[in-house]
Structure formats: C-alpha cells, structure tokens
Amino acid sequence: MMRSDTPEPRDFDAAEALEGAIAWWREAGVDFDYADAPTQWLAEPEADHAVAAPQGAVPPPPPPATPLTRALEQEAAPLIGGALTDWPTNLEKFREWWMTEPSLAEGSLDRRVPPRGVAGAKLCILVPQPEPDDGEGLLTGGAGRLLSAMLQSMEVSADEVYLASVLPAPMPLPDWSVLARRGLAEVTRHHLALAAPARVLAIGRSPLALFDIAPDKLREPLTIEVGEKPLPLLAAPDFSQIARSAKRRETLWHRWLEWTT
C-alpha cells in the first residue's frame, strides 16, 4: 500500500481554536471589541447587603454632550475680558492684564505668552495663538524663523513690527465664532487700537471670524474698524501652509506687493 505525504488533519481543542480566531482578526486589523450599550466602568460597586432599587427607580444616564450643547455651554460662560470699564487704556497696562485676566484663557497663567513690540509699529503680525515651541516669547520658534525670512524679503525690520496673538495661550480646536460672541472679538479690536499699527497682516484665516469677514473676501485687501479709525488688513494662510507650498508663498508675495504699493 502506497504511503501518502499529505499530513493527516488533526483536531484542535477549544483554546487553540479561540487563539487562532483572535490571531486571524488581529491580522485583519481588528484589535478591539465594541458594543452600542454604554458601560459605567467607574460606577461604585454595590455592597453585598444593599437592597435592590425597585424597577424603574434608577434615572436614565444623561445624554452625551454634542457640539451644539457644548457651544451653548460656552456661550453661557462669562464674557471674555470682563467689564469694559475694567479694560486697560494703554499698551503697557494691557500686557499686564493679558497675562493675568482669568477670563482670557483657561489653565495655568504660566502658559500665556505676551505680545511683543511697541505702539505705532509699521506692521502688526496677528496670529491665532502662540505656537507650541514659543518658549522664549511669541513667534520665537520655527514659525518665528519663517516670519523673519518673510520680513527680510518684505524689507520690514524687526523693530518695525508688533507681534500679537488673538489668544494668550494655546487652545486645542478653538471655536472662533463662539469665542467672538463671548467677547474675544472686542478684546482683539481693543488690543489693536492700543497697539495702533499702520497695517495688520493676519496669519491664519480662522480667527477672521472675529471681524465678520466673509470667506469670499479673504483674498482681497480688507479694512477693519478698530477704535476710531479703519485699519488695513491682509489675510494670509497659516505658517505651516506657507512653509510647504511654493504656490502659496508666491501668491502671498504678489498680494503683499499690491497691498503695500
């Protein structure tokens, strides 16, 4: 009788079968098991002698927060900046207020970064918020090096520039429209009025919601009302987009030339 080289099939026990199934699903990229029903992992365990509550007596869990409910909670928060009568009336006092006023930003005060420059500068660079690597001051990290190269090409010296941010400290995913309605728009206008630059170059287009600028107008030279006089403003992409796109750099350069000629 001829002997076959084909191995005889063998039986797998339950543990081996389960291990093989898990390995197959892991190889397919499925690492977790999900369920639609919520589980209260942090609920306190019931004591052994506790009396079971009657059926229907336990209230249902609160619904999860939605973007709408979070926005409503933010709008119900106190106004950013507090009472207008308490706002500083000169740039030196504003810097102190910027670093200490609780309503301007959440978290520790040591996360805040002050503006830099003097009043009446030739150009104000307005950014949404400090960069994560701004350890030595506003725009002192990688974005600051890119800005220095830009200013050199624009023939604007460092002492002719006022550097400001809309927020004093980094905020993850800020909702600019909600922040504007809570008073951040007026705080920003007040800041620019005290700084009194000749022009504003706004880096990053998201905060432009503070000035009620329509998206289809972002590529045009703009004017915003600040204090008692209109202030010319040019909107630019954020630094990361400028750095990685030669086309955006070229477009911004031509817009700058048209704006300043």
DSSP code at position 165: E
pLDDT at residue number 220: 76
* Domain definitions of the chain by residue range: 74-260
pLDDT at residue number 26: 73
pLDDT at residue number 255: 94
pLDDT at residue number 194: 97
Residue-wise pLDDT tens digits, 29-78: 666 666 666 666 666 666 555 555 555 555 556 556 555 445 455 555 67
The CATH code of the domain at 74-260 is 3.40.470.10
Q: How far apart are CA 194 and CA 227, in angstroms?
A: 8
pLDDT at residue number 111: 93
φ/ψ of 89, rounded to 5, equals -110, 5
Residue-wise pLDDT tens digits, 232-254: 999 999 999 999 999 999 999 99
Consecutive 10-residue averages of pLDDT for the chain (261 residues): 55 68 69 63 60 56 55 64 94 96 93 96 97 92 95 95 97 92 95 96 88 77 86 94 95 94 86
Give the H/E segment covering residue 163: strand 161-165
